[in-house]
Amino acid sequence: MKYIDEFKDLVRGSGILKEIVRLATFKVSFMEICGSHTHVICKSGLRALLPDNINLISGPGCPVCVTSQPEIDAIIDFADSNKDVIITTFGDMLRVPGSSSTLEQVRARATDVRVIYSPLGALSIARQSPQKEVVLLSVGFETTAPLIASVLQTAQAEGITNLTVYPLHKLTPPAMAVLLDSKDMRIDGFICPGHVTAIIGADAYGFIAKDYKRPCVVTGFEPLDALFAIYMLLLQIKEGRADIENEYKRVVSGTGNARARAIMDHVFEPSDALWRGLGSIPMSGLSLRDDYMGFSAAKRFGIDITKYTDSSKGTLDCRCADVLRGVINPAQCPLFATACTPTAPQGPCMVSDEGACAAWYTYERTAVAL
């Protein structure tokens, strides 16, 4: 199949589902590691269609959600105390609760916080307002990092000096290893993210098959993509295999996008990173290389997350961290759909369009006991 409509075909979907039922003679837990996959699974009602012995776990697939509390607090405090700086950010970051405020509330207190839809928006603002400092809050996985890097290369080439970036990027494979090392649960296989893997390539997950003996399937974002991935994972386990398979060949290759990775590697280098729910993970983030350190907002403005503790005051009993680790599903959080809703989110998992709690609230509330 090569056309999108074919991946929405109910007849084909029914056939794949029958094969899944035939293979599902054992209990398994598969984790999707992408927020877009979580939304596809929830929106299409796949959980209700699958046999009871197939457990789908939503993992840390939302970049805004995995941004740690100290990082959120540092950003909010910086924005609140620097009224003369233009803060640029993707929209999901506005309503993420800090310990005492949000960027949205800071904006209401006269800080210039602007929503952008591409990093190019921050570059454009810096060009248009050369007398103002422009800070780009750079959140995302490997998918967005090359574009951020390209923006900084352009800024450097043009001699733009009023643009800085606060990089909060996270790298997917190191987090997957931490999840597999966890004693909280068992993951029998991964549904791997299509967007991320288009950049890093399916071969990047080879260590999971080799070292952890767990199968992985890279898949797309249509309902049949998800069904195919589940079928392929089941078949691997049935046959005693642990391979890295690519269902999303129409977009993803084994080696990924070499040009995008080269741009990312030219500007950034791997560094330790703090994840909500997973703690500090070695070499799981991206920091600016020395040649681009002049674009560091942390260095220019003295932003220091070590001054902040990883607490969540103001979020009551929010269990977003446990949702991100896959230890519970959103409906098992005591605040879900009561104190925590999209209009009054207590944690980032209910804020972001890629958050598991937002997906469950929108599509699965009637399917779970609250």
Q: Is the pLDDT assigned to residue 311 strictly greater than 70?
A: no
Answer whether 42's CB lies under 8 Å from 359's CB: yes
Q: Where in the chain is the domain with CATH 3.40.50.11750?
A: 4-37+47-63+184-246
Report CA torsion sign: 50, 278, 60, 330. positive
Measured distance CA(96)–CA(89) in Å, rounded: 12
SS3 192: strand
Average pLDDT over residues 75-83: 96
Nearest to 134 by CA among 282, 277, 301: 301
pLDDT at 75: 96
Q: Looking at residues 281-299, what average pLDDT do you find?
A: 98
**How high is the pLDDT of residue 353?**
85
Alpha-carbon distance of 335 to 319, in angstroms, equals 8
* pLDDT, mean of residues 149-178: 98
All CATH 3.40.50.11740 domain ranges in the chain, comma separated: 66-171+256-307
Per-residue pLDDT reduced to its tens digit, 114-135: 999 999 999 999 999 999 999 9
The SS3 assignment for 216 reads strand
Position 4 pLDDT exceeds 80: no
Q: What pLDDT was estimated at residue 370?
A: 37
Is this model's pTM higher than 0.75 or not? yes
Residue 100 to residues 69, 80, 298, 343: CA-CA distances in angstroms?
Answer: 11, 11, 21, 17
Q: CB-based contacts of 4: which residues, under 8 Å, 6+ apart?
A: 222
The domain defined by 66-171+256-307 carries CATH number 3.40.50.11740: yes
CATH code for the part of the protein at 4-37+47-63+184-246: 3.40.50.11750
Helix (H) or strand (E) holding 257: none
Q: How far apart are CA 2 and CA 7, in angstroms?
A: 8
